[in-house]
Amino acid sequence: MKDFNIKKLYYSISEVSKITEVEQYVLRFWENVFEQLRPQKNRAGNRIYTNKEIELILFIKSLLRDQKYTIEGAKKVLIDQYKGKIPALEDISRDEIQINDEELSEENVNLDIETEKEVTEERSELYKDLVEIKTFLEILKSKL
């Protein structure tokens, strides 16, 4: 059994499956469903995953299994994330999320373009930090 304490540049699908606790067939299915998840393949045709892809898998797993999103809902969250929007945190209910999204869009109409860009960039950076912290904690939790 390999020790995952050392960060590698690339991981095999079996290593990613152990790290994320997601079955290999599910990982292959998610590749077909989520356009953001596209691991490269080596010369032998085997999938090779980077640390960023592992973080994405953990985020998708959280959306689908912990937050109970449907696949379509999780796809929308991922698309919104790549547009600079921040998906809701786990402790916010879906009803609150819809209200907050409406309030944010009304609020953004009143902001000038420069301010909106700054707010979006700040939120995007904060969200990336949160995802990184969450991923780190999940990896630590899985090692215990």
Tens-place pLDDT, residues 26-36: 999 999 999 88
Q: Which CATH class is domain 13-143?
A: mainly alpha
What is the reported pLDDT for 3? 46
Which residues face 11 on adjacent strands? Answer: 49
Q: List pLDDT tens digits, range 68-96.
A: 999 999 999 988 876 654 444 444 344 43
Residue 14 predicted with pLDDT over 70:
yes
Mean pLDDT of the chain, nearest integer? 75
Question: What's residue 25's pLDDT?
Answer: 95
Q: How many CB atoms lie within 10 A of CB 65?
A: 11
* Mean pLDDT computed over 4-18: 82
- Integer distance in angstroms from the first to the last C-alpha of the chain? 16
57 touches 38 (CB < 8 A): no
> How many whole angstroms separate alpha carbon 20 and alpha carbon 119?
32
